[in-house]
């Protein structure tokens, strides 16, 4: 499980999802496509990983399928 937060608002066409500044997200082990995209998003400056010294500000949950 990896937690991350966007550094800017952006849309992932691969996942048909929007990611918004001020929210935090969790990539679970079964979220293979999301996990594969995270290194690119980090390199592009879209997101940063949430670490123990940078706690999550907001938790969002939902129902759906992430591949």
pLDDT digits (tens, 9 = 90+) for 10-44: 999 999 999 999 999 999 999 999 999 999 999 99
**Which stretch of DSSP H or E encloses residue 3?**
strand 2-6
pLDDT for res 51: 79
pLDDT for res 62: 67
Place of tokens 């996942």: 15
Q: pTM score, two decimals? A: 0.74
Report d(CA 18, CA 29) in Å as an integer: 20
Confidence of residue 2 (pLDDT cuts 50, 70, 90): very high
Whether 30 is in a domain gets the answer: yes
Whether 64 is in a domain gets the answer: no
User: 9: domain range?
Assistant: 2-49
Which comes out higher in pLDDT, residue 58 or 6?
6
Task: Give mean pLDDT, residues 35-59.
Answer: 82
Whether 9 is in a domain gets the answer: yes
Whether 58 is in a domain gets the answer: no
**β-strand partners of 11:** 18
């Amino acid at each position: 499980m990896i937690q991350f937060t966007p550094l800017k608002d952006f849309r992932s066409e691969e996942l048909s999802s929007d990611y918004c500044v001020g929210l935090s997200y969790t990539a679970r082990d079964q979220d293979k496509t999301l996990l594969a995209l995270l290194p690119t998003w980090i390199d592009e400056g879209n997101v940063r990983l949430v670490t123990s010294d940078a706690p999550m500000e907001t938790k969002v949950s939902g129902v759906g399928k992430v591949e």
